[in-house]
């Protein structure tokens, strides 16, 4: 007698790979990149060094980091015909769709067809990290009728993106908080988009298609976009003074009401990334003022703690990141593309890892359909 395998929807808790890229303990809010706590990297490192760490496996030497940073800056600019392609995209199109198409097209201009060549793979990896901010900023500007700005090689990764997007150099505090956001979102184990990248990589797809596939998965509302929904929620509440009444009304209408930005499949305590993001954001808000949406988020977290906390439901990183992005002048529908700008380092780290002792993903299924159904000629069908 055949024993039917256990079916777990969404492959929940089913290991899909052995990976050394990151470690996560949701009960202790512990996230490490290659063994280093993410909060340490967000506060003491930067995105460039973090990207090297994730892909290469160890922190770089001063010489390695300097060369890597230089090489990234040299690869920020994209072919003029790719910019023409972006200009032809519909202005009302979603930035994630534009990024998906642009990254796939990037591979046409800078091909890497043979993934058995480590040198070509590394070059493509650097180009993807360097060029994705350029692609996101280019579409964001051209759709509102502004000229596409060339990247500035005198600025670091975070500052250059904010410059290309808004047209002016960010303050040191703004640059720091955005750089921290990139570090905090750079990797998060076997989420849906990372799994997609590994599946595409296992088929030996080129790195541009691997990343485009991951971007396509990230565009789904069940994966990316939570920070947009959380921000819209705070704006809809209208201020911290309205939080309790708003939440009471929502729960009266639906006792199982889900507050956007609260809860995570893995974390059973407050997401450590949310905590460190708050700490760094406070330094930026000290230069300006706390946005009303931030004050609303703080009050919602306080009120919700007594209701949802006993169930292990606490703020995740998306609870506050949208508020930070808004304070930096970033359009709401660019939030998820920024997620991709950050996560490309993690995707590439998993892709490189997948290529070692690679075996194509080919999971099984439990067939529940009909068997031995006779074919009825068309003229005999009722």
- Would you state the structure tokens that stand for residue 38, as one six-digit string? 């993410």
C-alpha dist (Å) from residue 38 to 146, 196, 265: 36, 23, 19
CA 187 centroid distance within chain: 8
79 is known as an active-site residue: no
Annotated active-site residue in 157, 179, 185, 318: 318
Point out the catalytic residue in the list 264, 271, 350, 352.
264
Nearest CA-CA partner of 280 in 32, 45, 36, 27: 45
Pairing mode of beta strands 22-25, 36-37: unpaired
Whole-angstrom Cα distance, residue 200 to residue 129?
18
With b for 16 or more beta-carbon neighbours within 10 A and e for fewer, the 181-205 pattern comes to bbbbbbbbbbbbbbbbbbbbbbeeb
The Cα–Cα gap between 274 and 205 comes to 34
Q: Is residue 129 a contact partner of residue 123, using CB atoms and an 8 Å limit?
A: no
Q: What value does the CA radius of gyration of the chain take, rounded to a whole number of Å?
A: 22
Edge-first strand listing for the sheet containing 36-37: 22-25, 30-33, 36-37
The answer to whether 264 is a known catalytic residue is yes
Tally the C-alpha atoms within 13 A of residue 255's C-alpha that lie toward its C-beta.
0
- Nearest residue to 322 (alpha-carbon basis) of 284, 364, 294, 343: 294
| Catalytic residue annotation | 264, 318
């Amino acid at each position: 007698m055949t024993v039917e395998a256990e079916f777990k929807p969404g492959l929940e808790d089913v290991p899909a790979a052995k990976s050394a890229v990151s470690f996560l303990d949701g009960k202790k809010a512990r996230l490490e990149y290659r063994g280093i706590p993410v909060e340490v990297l967000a506060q003491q490192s930067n995105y460039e060094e973090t990207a090297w760490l994730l892909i290469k496996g160890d922190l770089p030497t001063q010489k390695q980091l300097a060369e890597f940073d230089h090489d990234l800056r040299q690869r920020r600019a994209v072919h003029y015909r790719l910019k023409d392609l972006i200009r032809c995209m519909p202005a009302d199109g979603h930035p994630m769709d534009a990024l998906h198409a642009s990254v796939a097209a990037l591979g046409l201009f800078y091909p890497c067809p043979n993934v058995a060549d480590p040198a070509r793979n590394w070059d493509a990896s650097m180009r993807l990290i360097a060029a994705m901010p350029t692609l996101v900023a280019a579409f964001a500007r051209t759709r509102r009728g502004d000229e596409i700005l060339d990247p500035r090689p005198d600025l670091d990764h975070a500052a250059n993106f904010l410059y290309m997007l808004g047209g002016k150099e960010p303050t040191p505090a703004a640059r720091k908080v955005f750089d921290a956001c990139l570090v905090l979102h750079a990797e998060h184990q076997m989420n849906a988009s990372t799994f997609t990248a590994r599946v595409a990589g296992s088929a030996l797809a080129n790195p541009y298609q691997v990343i485009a596939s991951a971007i396509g998965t990230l565009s789904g509302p069940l994966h990316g976009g939570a920070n947009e929904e959380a921000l819209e929620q705070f704006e809809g509440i209208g201020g911290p003074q309205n939080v309790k009444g708003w939440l009471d009304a929502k729960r009266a209408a639906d006792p199982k009401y889900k507050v956007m930005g609260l809860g995570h499949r893995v974390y059973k305590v407050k997401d450590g990334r949310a905590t460190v993001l708050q700490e760094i954001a406070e330094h930026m808000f000290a230069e300006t003022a706390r946005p009303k949406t931030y004050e609303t988020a703080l009050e919602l977290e306080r009120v919700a703690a007594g209701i949802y906390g006993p169930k292990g439901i606490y703020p995740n990183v998306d609870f506050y990141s949208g508020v930070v992005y808004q304070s930096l002048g970033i359009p709401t529908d660019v939030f998820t593309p920024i997620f991709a700008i950050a996560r490309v380092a993690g995707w590439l780290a998993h892709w490189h890892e997948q290529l070692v002792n690679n075996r194509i993903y080919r999971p099984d299924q439990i067939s529940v359909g009909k068997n031995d159904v006779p074919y009825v000629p068309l003229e005999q069908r009722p």
